[in-house]
Amino acid sequence: MDEKRLEDLFDHAFIKCIKQMFWALSDHRDKVIWTGTRSGVFSVKSAYKMEEKMEEWDNSWWNTLWRSSLHERTKFFMWKLANAGIPLRSNLTAKGLQLESTKCMHGCQCTKIELHVFFHCEVAKRFWFVSPWGLRWEGVISSDLLDLLHCLANPSDFLPILSEDKDEFFTYSAILMEHIWCLRNKKLHEGTLTAIDLSPRTIMARYTKLKDAIRRDGRDQFHNRITIEIGSHLAVIAWHEQGRILHIQTFKSTANISETVELEAILKAIQIAKGFDWPNVILESDALSVIQALKHKNNQSLHWASEPIFKDVILLGSNFIHCSFSWAPRKSNMLAHYVCQWATSQEVYGPIDPNWLPPSIFAFCMARESVPEKISRA
């Protein structure tokens, strides 16, 4: 084994892995093996299954990134990193640019590729080890950057990270890697290097600041939510979290399929919320199958005729800061049910002033207003 050549091409971690590879002691003829099956024999079915798994694996990383609470600048940085788009010397050399050196600027004497800069460099190792999870990447053997990025998105499969820490770990990791890149840029373009010992504090400060901002945003959303009760005959009643009735409106439906009628009511409720510019809404209905379908964004369990309305509900719901669907038993949804019955019998449709309601329903409204909705119900 030509160790001198290995040192020229790879860093110490890769050289160690290469030396651990199995080498046959006797000569054997080469044989083509398909790793997608236990027998080693290729089949179209196994290739199709392998491709499906790779697509799911790739999508999980991108979904984690775009749905995270990271700053858009950090998301863009991680996107460029995953697509080999950051101007590392190795990337620039691969594009034909002539550079004096491709070695790590921290004195590691290793080729400056993404894996080294962000995971195996001595500086990066120090940052990962002093993180709240005390990580060491030596135990994760991979020569593919995307494999390690997937480890960040699904850490419990590869790293000693609890599943409940998954989102926080991903957020911290992205901030850490962006900080490493900032250090590199300062060294390269300004000739200065921030004290390495202070970097863990800087990373933790950014991480803590982002967590606090997320909590504040969550509280602001929580304290401004509007609960909209939806009745089975197109009655919509909007409540403020303090128990105050904001709006009552009834509609007439020509549909004869219960699921379609319920979705029409939910669509009307969303349109009303949009018209009043309410940013955070909870849509309550006693139609369990419809609510479950909306929560999972899958209408396969519903009647085929409801599909166009279902898609409209999902589309409009995405325009709010917060829009969720909640099932409520009929006994908790009685006011909307009473208003439905009354509006249908009297053929009264449109916005309704609570004072127009029959005394029994009006009294029910007043009783509801005197007892604010429990926030826990949201």
**Rounded-to-integer distance, Cα 123 and Cα 193, Å:** 12
Q: Which one-letter amino acid corresponds to residue 95?
A: K
What are the residue ranges of CATH 3.30.420.10 in the chain?
Answer: 226-377
Predicted confidence at residue 174, as pLDDT, reads 93
User: Measured at the alpha carbon of residue 83, what is the angle toward residues 82 and 89, in degrees to the nearest 5?
Assistant: 95
Cβ neighbours of 366 (radius 10 Å): 11
pLDDT for the residue numbered 171? 92
Q: CB under 8 Å, gap of 24 or more: what pairs does 165-172 form? A: 165/133, 167/68, 167/69, 168/211, 169/133, 170/64, 170/68, 171/68, 171/69, 171/70, 171/207, 171/210, 171/211, 172/131, 172/132, 172/203, 172/207
Query: pTM for this one?
Result: 0.47
Q: Are 251 and 272 in contact (CB under 8 A)?
A: no
Tell me, what's the pLDDT at 285? 82
Given this model, what pLDDT does residue 45 score?
Answer: 84
Q: What sections of the chain are H helices per DSSP?
A: 3-9, 12-19, 44-67, 72-82, 89-94, 114-115, 122-129, 145-153, 166-185, 199-222, 258-275, 288-296, 307-317, 334-346, 359-370
User: How many other C-beta atoms can be found within 10 angstroms of the C-beta atom of residue 75?
Assistant: 15
The CATH code of domain 226-377 reads: 3.30.420.10
Q: Which residues pair with 196 in a beta bridge?
A: none
Q: DSSP letter string over 223-243?
A: TTEEEEEE-TTSEEEEEETTS
Identity of the residue numbered 239: W
> Under a CB-based contact definition with an 8 Å cutoff, are residues 341 and 324 in contact?
no
For the record, the structure tokens of 55 come out as 């697509």
How high is the pLDDT of residue 41?
83
Contact assessment for residue 231 and residue 248, using Cβ atoms and an 8 Å cutoff: no
Residues 6+ apart with CB under 8 A from 14: 143
Q: How far apart are the first and last CA of the chain?
A: 65
Letter string b/e over residues 102-120, b meaning 16 or more CB atoms within 10 A of that residue's CB: bebbbebebbbbbbbbbbb
- pLDDT 10s per residue in the chain (378 long)? 677 888 877 777 778 878 777 665 566 677 787 877 777 788 888 887 777 666 665 667 788 888 888 888 999 999 998 887 887 766 666 666 666 655 666 666 666 577 888 888 888 888 998 888 888 887 776 777 888 888 888 887 778 888 788 888 999 999 999 999 888 888 877 777 667 788 889 999 999 888 877 766 544 444 445 566 565 556 667 666 556 677 888 887 777 788 888 888 888 888 888 888 888 888 888 888 888 899 888 888 888 888 888 999 999 888 888 888 888 776 666 777 777 777 777 777 888 777 777 776 656 555 554 444 433 333
Query: Which residues make Cβ contacts (< 8 Å) with residue 47, sequence separation at least 6?
Result: 36
User: Do the beta carbons of residue 323 and residue 271 sit within 8 Å?
Assistant: no
pLDDT at 75: 92
295: Cβ contacts below 8 Å, ≥ 6 apart = 325
pLDDT digits (tens, 9 = 90+) for 274-306: 888 888 888 888 888 888 899 888 888 888 888
Residue 17's pLDDT is what? 78
